[in-house]
Chain A
Amino acid sequence: MSALAPPRAATVRESTGANRTGPSPGRRRRRTPPLSWLRRWVSPLAIVVVWQLLSNAGVIPEQKLASPLQILATARDLVADGTLGSETVVSLQRVGLGFAIGASAGVALAVLAGLSRLGEDAVDPPMQMLRTLPHFGLIPLFIVWLGIGEAPKIALIALGVAFPLYLNTFAGIRSIDRRFLEAARTLHLNRRQRLRHVVVPGAVPQALVGLRQSLGVAWLSLIVAETVSASSGLGYLINHAREFLQTDVIVVGLAVYSILGLVTDAIVRALERKALAWRP
């Protein structure tokens, strides 16, 4: 056994280095050995097993938190009768629409402010003042203005999305190395060509940071909006279950929220890999 110890210790060290999130120099060079990937699943599984045992023993009452097996069964039922699917689609539509509106507005304003001094003077001051406002604080006003239908939810998501995208895209445009713009002029590129080949690609890295932030805000805004009031969607599913103490349904709803968040994060990461391939 003792002969096995040193290489195993080395495997552990490698795995912690390779699994760290964010751009670390070791990420690309080192391959994670399959064994250590498995090892990382041991403790989460153990927690689930202990949870199940405690539920079986009656230590965790079902009204407070359903058991993992119960939750799995409920998830299967909700998928089978189509409830989960249809409510998820409703929530996805809200996020999609809110994100589309907020992202278009944020990027459009950033381009306006980024490309002209006049635009900056007109757009940036109100944006900088409004960005300190916690947008969830606007819910009462939105309800007064827009009622309790779809409009206030979409408005809340759009508002939350617009700011991180605006701030980052604007900063991205303004941080472009002036020397590249100068080089483009010596290559006799016209304004449109300079935009396409220098300004837009130069602003993309920072804009992608904004995209990631704004997607996080979008999901958060959806959850808050649906929790405040909803007659459909995942938030409705959860709130409805609360009234009947169906903790299994609540957990299933939460799981779907986090899966959707993970999926969008994976999409953005794939996008970043493709768009930033030029970085060493």
Chain B
Amino acid sequence: MASVTRTARVAQVRDHHRSYGDTAVLQGVDLDIAGGEFVALLGRSGSGKSTLLRSLAGLDASPASEVQVDGRTSVSFQEPRLLPWRRVTENVGLALLSTARPEERARRAATALGEVGLTEKGEEWPLSLSGGQAQRVSLARALVSEPDLLLLDEPFSALDALTRIEMHRLVLQLWARHEPAVLLVTHDVDEALMLADRVLVLDEGRLAHEWTLPTPRHARTPTHPHLSEVREQVLAALGVQTVDQKAAGAA
């Protein structure tokens, strides 16, 4: 199964433009995402990362000639966006509202909650959860519908460092189990290098740079030679000066 889904293309973006008022945000983005592929999208604040994600999510209408997604999408946002007036299980089940009967919804929602380790929180109200727990519920809700493309909009940036590490592991685990294509929008270079098959940098409204990471994830350490090389290149593409460059500039 895995080899079949990985060959199919899930999303295709061609010469995509978008502007807010007079500000052009996306100026001709081209992007293909293959089935089951994990793509990280980096960029400085205001570079249009989230705008591209919104186009793929169908939140901002785009012409079919520019943005085309085959299959089901789902989104997990920076804030979990759980409906506070629906219990945790019901929140997860919302993703199945049009596709499954109530009993099946409850069963699949419970399974999804189990996958994120929150079986016992099913009957709680979302406002009683911690930030990390709520974000895990949000992930369960995004995955319970078995999406072909999972869009993650900086989902870990509001979490503390330790919770974030746990979430990274959980996301990889869930990705391996459900095999959706993933587009992770983030401003965290190390996060991108830990998780993704492919890293993209959005600059001046275009996807200017791209790195493929063949290293298996268990071997990805901060000292890995290829990764640390890519890390420097990504930081440079983002316009971050390294210590050496700063020293050279000062001299």
The chain A residues found within 8 Å of chain B, CB to CB, are 179-180, 182-190, 193, 197-198, 201-202, 204, 277-280
Contacts and interface: CB of A to CB of B under 8 A. Distances in A.
Contact of A187 (B85, B127, B141): B141
A256 B79 CA distance: 51
A278 B84 contact: yes
Contacts, number: 61
Contacts of B17: none
Most central of A179, A187, A197 by chain B CB within 10 Å: A187
A204 B84 CA distance: 12
Size bracket of the B interface: 20 to 34
A280 B81 contact: no
Given A180-B83, A188-B98, A279-B84, 4 more contacts: A197-B86, A201-B83, A277-B125, A280-B127
Interface in B121-147: 125-128, 141, 145
Interface string B63-102: 0000000001111010101011110000000110110000
B59 interface: yes
Contacts of B235: none
Contacts of A184: 83, 94
Contact of A190 (B77, B83, B98, B141): B98
A186 B83 contact: no
A179 B98 contact: no
B62 to A, nearest CB: 14
Interface of B: 57-59, 72-75, 77, 79, 81, 83-86, 94-95, 97-98, 125-128, 141, 145, 151
5 contacts: A184-B94, A187-B141, A188-B97, A278-B127, A280-B127
6 smallest beta-carbon distances between A and B, as pairs: A183-B81, A186-B75, A201-B85, A278-B125, A278-B85, A187-B95
A186 B141 CA distance: 11
Contacts of A197: 83, 86, 94, 97
Given A184-B94, A187-B97, A189-B94, A179 B77 contact: yes
B77 A193 contact: no
A280 to B, nearest CB: 5
Given A183-B81, A187-B141, A193 B97 contact: yes
Most central of A180, A183, A193, A198 by chain B CB within 10 Å: A183
Contacts of B81: 179-180, 182-183
A187 to B, nearest CB: 5
Contact of A280 (B79, B86, B128): B128
Contacts of A280: 125, 127-128
